[in-house]
Amino acid sequence: MKIKYISDFFMREVKGGAELADDILINKLSKTHQITRQKCKDFSEENYDFWIVSNFVFLRQKHKDFLKNKNYVIIEHDHKFVKSRDVSCYENKIAPADQIVNCNFYRKAKLVFCQSQGHADNLINNLILDNVANFGCSFWSEKHLNILEDLCDTPKTFGNATINSSNKIKGTFQANRFCIKNKIKVKSIEPKGFNELMFELSQTKNLIFFPQVYESFCRLVLEARMLNCSVISNKNLGCTTEEWFSKYKGKELINFVRNKQEFNIQEFLKVIEGKDTVLKLEGKKYPKISLITSMFKGEKYIEKFMNNIISQTVFKYCELLIIDAASP
């Protein structure tokens, strides 16, 4: 099967969490299928059997419209259905209607794969979707898991640490302020390469981390748990919404992640092959909404009106009653 994998960036350009997870998934899928990578800005309208859409900020609207008629899934890494790509600033994580974007692009996908239950809930509650699946974990290479396994029993030589990141959304300022307020002695860890960062983290008893946006999963926190660290944080962590999160730590957690991601890959392959997956979540049950409108001499405007109505977020849960007001 010919598959095109679309994303804003891949590992050769950016080494972020999304790109790392995508790279592992691509390598796994390449063993059984023909995968072609393509950056969103270089998108070309070609014929493929299946399309996988990852981060798509740079994907033009005409290309989204092209994909709506194709067999595609979305692997959602954050919250691209909101203009700010963050829901944590809204009450109950529900964004105002004027802040919602890409609604129909999500709705037309075969499935939208989220990183955690909390992440999936955010998507379902904002867009009212019934095509959402939950990986319930991120993806790590065997090389990285081996490094974590080698380090997980490292003696803890200092008590508390924060990550010294220049990225404001990682909350370094808030973490340090928390330490000052609570008179906690803390070491600041520079976010170096993976090996160096994990080595320093492995010597830490507690990671203090306060992300300022909702992290769809948060690889760093799970890596800390794999290294037998405890974590002091806020409610912006998708990984903590998984039932298994508090059950495992250290080597037990590393083995769980190995098994979980292999299971996820097998379930993802089922979707590509047109089969059902247990990763798909049940859609929420909503009450039916009756929309009532009156019409007088509306023939000229009815088509535009109908197109507008059916594009509304909740229309699939609605009935439309048109009352003709004695038009001639």
8 A C-beta contact, residue 112 and residue 74 = yes
Band of pLDDT at residue 182, cut at 50, 70 and 90: very high
Band of pLDDT at residue 317, cut at 50, 70 and 90: confident
pLDDT above 90: residue 264: yes
pLDDT above 90: residue 99: yes
Average pLDDT of the chain is 95
Sign, Cα dihedral of 109, 110, 113, 117: positive
* Cα(114)–Cα(123) distance, integer angstroms: 8
pLDDT at position 40: 98
pLDDT above 90: residue 314: no
- pTM of the entire structure? 0.88
Q: What's the whole-number mean pLDDT along residues 137-143?
A: 96
> Per residue in 40-80, pLDDT tens?
999 999 999 999 999 999 999 999 999 999 999 999 999 99
pLDDT above 90: residue 285: no
* Cα(140)–Cα(154) distance, integer angstroms: 20
pLDDT at position 269: 97
CA nearest 306: which of 328, 322, 323? 322
pLDDT above 90: residue 319: no
